[in-house]
Structure formats: structure tokens, C-alpha cells
Amino acid sequence: ALLDLSGVHQVKGTWMGSTKLPCTYMPSEDFTQQTLIWSMERDYSTSTIFRRDDSGDHVLLSRFRDRVSVPKHSPGNASLLIENLEIPDSGHYTCQVIWRSKNNSLITKEVTTTVKVVKVAATKPVIRAGEPGLTVPAGARTSLTCVASGSPPIRYRWFRGSPGGKALLLSSQAELAWDSLRPSDSGKYYCEAENR
């Protein structure tokens, strides 16, 4: 009863973002982790993605190379991190751990998580003001930051003016910064956030 893998049934991931598939157990002195295998089932076929054994870590599916990893030095943590999620990464992932006990018998446990990768539209952005706030003395440094969530990459644009009216494009960064404010900088500014 000591060795129990715990995970979660379902994980939602955002397209082009990253997600973690939990797979953990309480380490015990009586058992040594021999092998860890992460496999994925999609369209009724199963393939091994990742294998950790005496010879090290191996990513066995080329399309996951440089995108998957398992923590190196945390005993009991076999969670899989998948980065730059693609839509075909949706599927059923199984974490299988094999331990060797002190009397040399092998114990195998597994836990399966369903991953659903979704595209999320950019949210309406919020504007964060710098330290002094929105009323700032002339000569001061300040900044405005545009923040939105959704599937990356998110592109930001800053304008001076009013949406729908005459507007001047000032920046294609999330942050709009001034080194030294002048009275003429007073006015209305707005930002846009856009993703694919």
C-alpha cells in the first residue's frame, strides 16, 4: 500500500502554451525506482514518449523532442511537462513506474491522464499603471503595461487617441514607457491584444 501513484484524470492545455501532467508517489527506502515510462494513446494506437532508466532519459517520439521533460532531482516526482502544445498532443497519457524492492521483486503501477489542447482567444486586455499611478508629475519616469490571456503568442499594440477615432500607433510591445514625462504626454491611450 506504500507505493501509490497519484495523478489527475484530466488536464486542459492551451495551444502553444505548456501543461504539467502530475504523477507522484511517496519515496520509500524499501523500493528503488527502476524505470519510468510515459506513453500516449491517440486514435487507438499507443506510443512511448519518454523513458527514464539506468541509462538516462530518452525522448522516443521525435515530435516531442525538446518539448517534454520530467524533474531530474526530485524523488517521487515523475510528472511530465509538455511545452509548446500542439492540437495533436490531445490524447490519453499513461505514467508507468516500475520499482525494485529490497528482495528484488518488481512492482509496477500506472496512472492515466486525458489531455485536451484548446485554442483560447485573447481576452480583453487590462492596463497596469507603473508605480506612480495614472497621475504623474512632469519629468518622472513611468510606464503602462497591457496584459491579456489566451493562446500564445499574443501581440500587443499601444495607441494614443480613442478607439474608433484618430489614433497614433506608439508601440508594438506590451509595455509603453516614458523616461521623462512632458505635460504634452497627457491624454488618452489604449492598447490592443491579439492572437491567432
CATH number at residue 17: 2.60.40.10
User: What is the predicted pLDDT for the residue at 10?
Assistant: 96
- For the stretch 158-189, pLDDT in tens is 999 988 888 899 999 999 999 999 999 999 99
The residue among 118, 153, 181 that closes a domain is 118
Could you tell me if 15 and 107 lie in one domain? yes
Q: Which residues contact 27 (CB under 8 A, 6 or more apart)?
A: 75, 76
Phi-psi domain of 142 (left: phi exceeds 0; alpha: psi -120 through 50; beta: other): beta
Q: Name residue, grid cell 527506502.
A: 29
Could you tell me if 107 and 171 lie in one domain? no
Could you tell me if 28 and 65 lie in one domain? yes
Could you tell me if 114 and 130 lie in one domain? no
User: What is the predicted pLDDT for the residue at 87?
Assistant: 92
- For the stretch 92-140, pLDDT in tens is 999 999 999 999 999 999 999 999 999 888 999 999 998 778 889 999 9
Could you tell me if 88 and 161 lie in one domain? no
pLDDT at 149 over 60: yes
The residue among 67, 94, 118 that closes a domain is 118
Which residue, among 117, 99, 105, has the nearest Cα to 4 in the 3D structure?
A: 99
Could you tell me if 13 and 79 lie in one domain? yes
Could you tell me if 10 and 60 lie in one domain? yes
- Give the whole-angstrom CA distance, residue 141 versus residue 132: 9
Please give the share of the chain, as a percent, with pLDDT higher than 90: 79
pLDDT at 1 over 50: no
The domain tally of the chain equals 2
Could you tell me if 31 and 92 lie in one domain? yes
Could you tell me if 64 and 153 lie in one domain? no
- For the stretch 32-64, pLDDT in tens is 999 999 999 988 899 999 999 999 999 999 999
Q: Name residue, grid cell 495614472.
A: 134
The residue among 70, 91, 118 that closes a domain is 118
Could you tell me if 13 and 80 lie in one domain? yes
Provide the residue range defining the domain that includes 61: 5-118
- Give the whole-angstrom CA distance, residue 5 versus residue 60: 23
